[in-house]
């Protein structure tokens, strides 16, 4: 399709309505463009929760969202610097700006800079609401948020192993099919290897599930006569040795006609072998083992020989042309030859019938599993991403589907789809029904971004036909086209030479055409090679022996590294020259076999390399050793299991050491007792505590690295990975038996689930070894391409892919439809076979485009076609002599004739490292606690007793309790002075307490000018319900409602002033504090002992010092204590803490005496809170205060019951300074004083 106008700058040209198609060639700054577009979208039109951005992988989605956030922050900073500029200055800045996004938005918002700043600030604050993910996760989001509209209200978890359900269904379908067949046919299918286990059909089914929208053509029906097969075998078995020996004159050496056979058709003595070996072997085998043994692999060569004979008999080409006719006729008409001819033609027909049955079986399995899989998943309460996409498509196709689509479109009017070339038909159908429906195209916006030249995931369901149909749909609805034509990835010479190469053949196949590109503006440090800057970046190496390709690559890599060491090959970076390193080099191959060979060659040369792992952590000896350890814990009295655990790498025993142990009196029994102890510990403390204790007891980490080995780090990482998985699943599989059972199941079903794949090592540096598919989206400085001109061979596919014109039953339009057929070539039309071959070859061209565009500085293409016959791989563009590609930036490089020596980098002086001593105790990461949580450890009966004694009312606040003091002080109190109206009427509860805390946190103790504004904002923004309650009480008491706000704010200010002016210990007042002498809301995390938390010992300590509180329950699991101290201040001599309490104790100031507050602190356990906070302050000062002395520097705790404070001494507060010994003893009980309190 021709487009009248193509933009090359979508960042500035795009308008966010309608359909937009961005073609982004490799290295053209796609992520930069998308993040810039997203800034415009969020600045100009939509909020984050109205926008969707999808891409192909979760990793790419995370990178895109990170780049969007960074771009937004940069744009905000740019606008923020323009706040003081006038319109003309902003426009002038826009004119000089090189960043196209900045230039555009500055011009657009030149008169609204403040608005742009506030809008961007809002967008950044709400950016977590922006959905950036895969299309699969987006479909999950839609079904979850629109479950009612979609009709999919059942809850289903994403299966992490749908493959097991596929295997189960194949078993079911296969079993049903076999039961319906004649047993003789089943036996023959098994004997001929046409019917094998269920696992042989898994790839077939998975490929069908990747192309569910394609039509699967049913194979022709077959009628197979098993009796005819038995008759033919019987005829063959009946042949006697005398019958074929009567032809001896034709095949024995010296026979009358032994030299007359066609030597071209029967090479290397084949004619003689047929009669002297193959035919006797075949007949004897059938006579001894029966008809079904005809399909035995032992007879393969014999059957092949006889097949050649019969083929030439049928064509009458057994003899030379000069052989007399009567001699030939005598052979062709001999009874033995006639029988063989009849038998083998019958057997060939029978085998064709078996092939047809095999095709029908594959078709049946593929069709049935596709139907049954959703049902099986639903029964298990599970689903897959693919099934969710199909469920979404079904909902959109249903009777009310367009209503559902409108709901989604209204919620998300704009969608940006990255890597659009990799979408499958189901995904595109979903997108088209929502955002490309003709009635909604102009009401929203859909931006499709991709590069058809990089569509290389056909094996995952990607189909160029889907892409082309979407392309046609977009431009039939006035879609706009954009091309990114500047390659920013590679240096200019490499861009130029690769562009020239691709322009030699711009038609890649499947309507994919190359678009010329230019070098971008991104700066690259020059690669200096022997004084030249980026010389000849495209280099061809013709191998003399293709079997030595890996060796030549490894030698060349060492040669490059040597040049780097010698200072001849380096990057001229701004700070300093940097030699080429192994990390800068990548080796790409179409398959894993080539990488295996290069890996071996690099290992031989001692060159570091990294190869991405696709191996399950459950595979290997380490996983078996962990299973042995679990088995020993589960059954500690089973000596065999204990011995196996001891012989594992984890415990470090070998056979000799185990035998020596068993010679000791208590040798094995000691370990049995240990495992019994750990089993009991598991029952009490759970898996993780037991696992860590076991590792510490047996020195597991030391054992696994006791011997120098290349795999030590891999073992450590995998062991931590396995421990993490066990810990995570111990919550669902409680107990040693259930967890061990789950673990053994994983060993037996190890697969490719993402969470079980081996993790990357920390030292995963060196030459990168990847397949071309793995390298997509990555960038390397120097790239070696293996087999760059190797002949293309289509991998054996389960299906043949073709297409045909079909009419859409809904729209009536004629469209290309993908057609699948079980891949048996003899039953597929020549046209369909040609289409399949053309599709595979086109994807092969795209694969090599991806390979050649990974490098930023240099490419080495390894060639092996000495005969200059290849037309695939890079030879598709390079061509052959005399029209071979020539360019100033391209050169032919000779193979190395010898292995380069290993040069070493001159080592600078190595400074010694001193490690801290390994701690003997470790933290339990089981949990954390706080004072409020500890207070909940009061037993239920004790809380009830306290409530009966004092009508204790527990409100939502964790640490504020309001007590009826009439029951605490039953004697009359006389005419005591009543609280002020605001102190008595201020609401109670957690919300009120939080409000008081925030006011004290935000006001300046000296400057009262801002107090009214702070009080007003607090109530208006966060505590409107409190304010309304206060206003209502005011109106009930006073008759002037219009003055309520002013009066209430004035009274609250007076109340705060009274609190700050009340004399505390030694007459000190809080209003004397300078801003640099106190901290409000001082948070801390305090480490506790790596052992059982001794709550009762704390209780005993308080009792010793005459402080009585209700007993606590046990709290064994906590390992950290966290909290926030309301106020930490320095009075000029010591550091103190203060805690504001809004607890309501009564209506008069007499209810807030020191004695009353002591009662309140006892019932609410505030003594414990004060002691813990003082210990936290003690630990903090010990770390941060030079020459700290507890007696001199640590003060006490003031508990300020603010309702009862009225500037009078000893009124409304309680000051407590425990003895230093008390603080030190409590600190010791809490434990682990090496890990000090972390405050701020």
Residue of 857, 900, 904 whose CA lies nearest to 558: 900
- CB distance 143 to 95 below 8 Å: no
CA distances to 484, 675, 1116 from 28, in Å: 6, 61, 58
Rg, the chain, Cα only: 41
Q: Is 689 annotated as a binding residue?
A: no
Question: Which entry of 1139, 1151, 1227, 1232 is annotated as an active-site residue?
Answer: 1139
Angle at the Cα of 1033 from the Cα atoms of 1027 and 1037, rounded to 5 degrees: 140
Q: Is 959 a catalytic residue?
A: no
Q: Bridge partners of 1112?
A: 938
Tell me the three state secondary structure of residue 764: coil
A 10 A CB-CB count for 365 gives 22
Q: Is 1139 annotated as a binding residue?
A: yes
Q: Is 27 annotated as a binding residue?
A: yes
Helix axes 385-397, 135-145, angle to 10 degrees: 50
Report CA 265 to chain centroid distance, whole Å.
Answer: 58
Q: Is 29 annotated as a binding residue?
A: yes
Burial profile 885-905: b = 16 or more Cβ within 10 angstroms, e = fewer: beeebbeeeebeeeebeeeee
Residue of 350, 349, 262 whose CA lies nearest to 308: 262
Taking CB atoms within 8 Å and a gap of at least 24, the contacts of 319-322 are: 319/260, 319/261, 319/262, 320/260, 320/261, 320/262, 320/263
Give the pair of three-digit tokens for residue 1211.
């009124």
Side-chain half-sphere CA neighbours of 732 within 13 A: 7
Is residue 526 left, alpha or beta, with left meaning phi > 0 and alpha meaning psi from -120 to 50?
beta
Cα gap 640→1171, rounded to integer Å:
53
Q: Is 873 annotated as a binding residue?
A: no
Q: What distance, in Å, lies between the first and last C-alpha atoms of the chain? A: 64
Taking CB atoms within 8 Å and a gap of at least 24, the contacts of 404-409 are: 404/146, 404/149, 404/150, 405/433, 405/434, 405/437, 405/440, 406/440, 407/146, 407/149, 408/142, 408/146, 408/434, 409/434, 409/435, 409/440, 409/443, 409/444
Q: Is 26 annotated as a binding residue?
A: yes
Specify burial of residue 1149 (Cβ count, 10 A radius: 0-12, 13-18, 19+). Answer: buried
Cα gap 733→727, rounded to integer Å:
10
A 10 A CB-CB count for 602 gives 23
Q: Is 509 annotated as a binding residue?
A: no
Cα gap 861→844, rounded to integer Å:
16
Cα gap 1201→1142, rounded to integer Å:
6
Is residue 754 left, alpha or beta, with left meaning phi > 0 and alpha meaning psi from -120 to 50?
alpha
Specify burial of residue 401 (Cβ count, 10 A radius: 0-12, 13-18, 19+). Answer: middle
Tell me the three state secondary structure of residue 929: strand
Give the pair of three-digit tokens for residue 873.
């791989």
- CB distance 138 to 415 below 8 Å: no
Tell me the three state secondary structure of residue 1039: coil
Specify burial of residue 231 (Cβ count, 10 A radius: 0-12, 13-18, 19+). Answer: middle
Cα gap 1208→1210, rounded to integer Å:
7
Is residue 766 left, alpha or beta, with left meaning phi > 0 and alpha meaning psi from -120 to 50?
left
Q: Is 997 annotated as a binding residue?
A: yes
Q: Is 556 annotated as a binding residue?
A: no
Tell me the three state secondary structure of residue 980: coil
CA distances to 3, 468, 568, 759, 872 from 479, in Å: 10, 14, 52, 44, 35
Binding residues for Mg(2+): 997, 1126, 1139
Binding residues: 24-31, 997, 1126, 1139
Active site residues: 1139
Binding residues for ATP: 24-31
């Amino acid at each position: 399709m021709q487009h009248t106008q193509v933009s090359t700058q979508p960042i500035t040209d795009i308008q966010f309505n309608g359909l937009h198609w961005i073609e982004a060639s490799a290295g053209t700054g796609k992520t930069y463009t998308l993040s810039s577009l997203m800034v415009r979208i969020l600045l100009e039109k939509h909020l984050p929760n109205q926008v969707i951005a999808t891409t192909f992988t979760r990793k790419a989605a995370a990178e895109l969202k990170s780049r969007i956030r960074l771009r937004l922050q940069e744009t905000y900073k740019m606008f923020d610097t323009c706040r003081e500029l006038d319109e003309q200055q902003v426009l002038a800045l826009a004119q000089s700006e090189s960043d196209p996004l900045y230039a555009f938005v500055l011009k657009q918002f030149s008169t609204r800079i403040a608005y742009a700043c506030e809008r961007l600030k809002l967008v950044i604050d709400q950016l977590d609401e922006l959905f950036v993910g895969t299309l699969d996760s987006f479909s999950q989001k839609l079904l979850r948020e629109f479950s009612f509209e979609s009709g999919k209200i059942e809850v289903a978890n994403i299966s992490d192993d749908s493959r097991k359900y596929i295997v189960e269904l194949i078993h079911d379908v296969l079993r049903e099919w076999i039961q319906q067949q004649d047993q003789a046919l089943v036996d023959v299918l098994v004997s001929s290897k046409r019917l094998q286990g269920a696992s042989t059909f898994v790839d077939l089914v998975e490929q069908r599930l990747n192309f569910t929208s394609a039509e699967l053509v049913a194979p022709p029906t077959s009628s197979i006569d098993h009796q005819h097969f038995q008759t033919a075998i019987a005829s063959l078995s009946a042949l006697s040795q005398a019958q074929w020996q009567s032809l001896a004159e034709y095949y024995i050496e010296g026979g009358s006609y032994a030299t007359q056979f066609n030597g071209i058709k029967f090479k290397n003595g084949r004619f003689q072998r047929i009669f002297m070996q193959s035919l006797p072997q075949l007949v004897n085998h059938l006579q001894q083992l029966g008809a079904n043994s005809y399909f035995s692999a032992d007879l393969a060569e014999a059957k092949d020989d006889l097949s050649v004979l019969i083929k030439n008999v049928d064509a009458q080409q057994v003899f030379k042309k000069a052989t007399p006719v009567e001699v030939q006729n005598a052979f062709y008409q001999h009874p033995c030859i006639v029988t063989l001819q009849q038998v083998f033609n019958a057997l060939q027909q029978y085998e064709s019938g078996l092939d047809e049955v095999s095709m029908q079986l594959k078709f049946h399995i593929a069709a049935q599993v596709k139907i049954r899989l959703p049902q099986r998943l639903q029964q298990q309460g599970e689903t897959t991403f693919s099934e969710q996409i199909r469920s979404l498509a079904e909902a959109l196709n249903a009777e009310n589907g367009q209503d559902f689509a409108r709901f989604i479109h209204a919620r998300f009017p704009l969608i940006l789809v990255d890597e659009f070339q990799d979408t499958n038909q189901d995904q595109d159908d979903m997108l088209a029904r929502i955002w490309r429906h003709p009635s909604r195209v102009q009401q929203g916006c859909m931006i499709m971004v991709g590069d058809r030249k990089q569509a290389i995931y056909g094996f995952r369901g990607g189909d160029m036909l889907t892409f082309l149909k979407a392309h046609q749909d977009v431009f039939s609805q006035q879609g706009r086209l954009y091309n990114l034509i500047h390659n920013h990835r590679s240096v200019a010479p490499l861009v130029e030479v690769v562009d020239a190469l691709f322009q030699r053949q711009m038609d890649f196949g499947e309507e994919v055409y190359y678009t010329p590109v230019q070098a971008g503006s991104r700066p690259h440090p020059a690669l200096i090679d022997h004084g030249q800057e980026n010389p000849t970046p495209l280099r061809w190496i013709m191998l003399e022996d293709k079997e030595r390709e890996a060796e030549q690559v490894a030698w060349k890599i060492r040669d490059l590294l040597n040049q780097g060491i010698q200072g001849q090959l380096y990057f001229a970076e701004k700070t300093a020259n940097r030699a080429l390193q192994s990390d800068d080099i990548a080796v790409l191959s179409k398959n894993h076999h080539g990488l295996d060979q290069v890996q071996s060659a690099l290992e031989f040369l001692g060159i570091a390399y990294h190869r991405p792992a696709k191996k399950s952590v459950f595979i290997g000896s380490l996983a078996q050793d962990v299973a042995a350890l679990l088995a020993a814990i589960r059954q500690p009295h089973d000596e065999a299991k204990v011995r196996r655990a001891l012989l594992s790498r984890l415990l470090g025993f070998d056979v000799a050491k185990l035998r020596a142990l068993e010679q000791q009196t208590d040798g094995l029994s000691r370990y049995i007792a240990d495992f019994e102890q750990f089993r009991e510990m598991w029952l009490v403390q759970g898996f993780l505590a037991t696992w860590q204790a076991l590792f510490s007891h047996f020195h597991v980490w030391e054992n696994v690295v006791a011997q120098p080995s290349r795999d030590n780090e891999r073992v450590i990482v995998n062991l931590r990975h396995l421990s993490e998985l066990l810990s995570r699943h111990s919550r669902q599989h409680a107990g040693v038996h259930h967890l061990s059972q789950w673990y053994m199941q994983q060993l037996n079903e190890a697969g490719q689930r993402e969470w079980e794949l081996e993790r990357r090592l920390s030292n995963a540096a060196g030459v990168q070894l990847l397949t071309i598919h793995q390298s997509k989206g990555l960038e390397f400085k120097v790239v070696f391409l293996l087999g760059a001109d190797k002949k293309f061979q289509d991998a054996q596919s389960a299906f043949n892919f073709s297409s045909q014109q079909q009419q859409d039953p809904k729209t009536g339009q004629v469209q290309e439809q993908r057609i699948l057929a079980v891949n048996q070539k003899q039953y597929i039309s020549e046209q369909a076979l040609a289409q399949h071959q053309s599709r595979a070859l086109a994807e092969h061209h795209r694969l090599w485009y991806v390979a050649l565009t990974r490098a930023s500085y240099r490419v080495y293409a390894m060639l092996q076609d000495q005969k200059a016959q290849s037309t695939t791989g890079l030879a598709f563009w390079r061509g052959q002599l005399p029209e071979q590609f020539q360019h100033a930036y391209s050169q032919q490089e000779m193979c190395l004739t010898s292995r380069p020596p290993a040069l070493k980098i001159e080592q600078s002086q190595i400074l010694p490292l001193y490690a801290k001593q390994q701690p003997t105790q470790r933290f339990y990461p089981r949990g954390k606690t706080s004072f409020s949580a500890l207070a909940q450890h009061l037993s239920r009966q004790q809380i009830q007793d306290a409530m009966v004694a004092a009508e204790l009312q527990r409100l939502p606040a964790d640490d504020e309790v309001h007590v009826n003091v009439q029951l605490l002080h039953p004697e009359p109190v006389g005419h005591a002075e009543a609280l002020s109206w605001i102190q008595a009427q201020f609401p109670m509860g957690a919300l009120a307490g939080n409000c008081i805390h925030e006011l004290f946190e935000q006001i300046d103790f000296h400057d009262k000018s801002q107090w009214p504004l702070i009080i007003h904002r607090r109530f208006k923004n966060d505590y409107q319900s409190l304010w309304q309650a206060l206003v209502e009480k005011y109106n009930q008491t006073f008759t002037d409602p219009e003055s309520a706000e002013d009066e209430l704010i004035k009274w609250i200010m007076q109340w705060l002033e009274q609190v700050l002016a009340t004399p505390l210990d030694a007459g000190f007042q809080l209003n004397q504090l300078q801003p640099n002498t106190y901290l409000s809301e001082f948070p801390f995390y305090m480490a506790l002992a790596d052992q059982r938390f001794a709550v009762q010992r704390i209780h005993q300590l308080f009792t010793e010092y005459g402080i009585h509180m209700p007993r606590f329950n046990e709290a064994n699991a906590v390992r950290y204590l966290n909290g926030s101290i309301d106020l930490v201040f320095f009075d000029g001599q010591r550091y103190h803490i203060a805690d504001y309490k809004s607890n309501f104790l009564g209506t008069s100031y007499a209810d807030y005496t020191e004695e009353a507050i002591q009662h309140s602190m006892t019932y609410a356990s505030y003594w414990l809170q004060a002691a813990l906070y003082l210990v936290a302050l003690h630990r903090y000062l010990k770390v941060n205060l030079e020459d700290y002395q507890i007696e001199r520097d640590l003060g006490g705790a003031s508990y300020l019951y603010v309702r009862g404070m009225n500037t009078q001494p000893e009124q409304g507060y309680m000051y407590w300074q425990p003895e230093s010994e008390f603080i030190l003893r409590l600190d010791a009980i809490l434990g682990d004083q090496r890990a000090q309190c972390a405050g701020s």
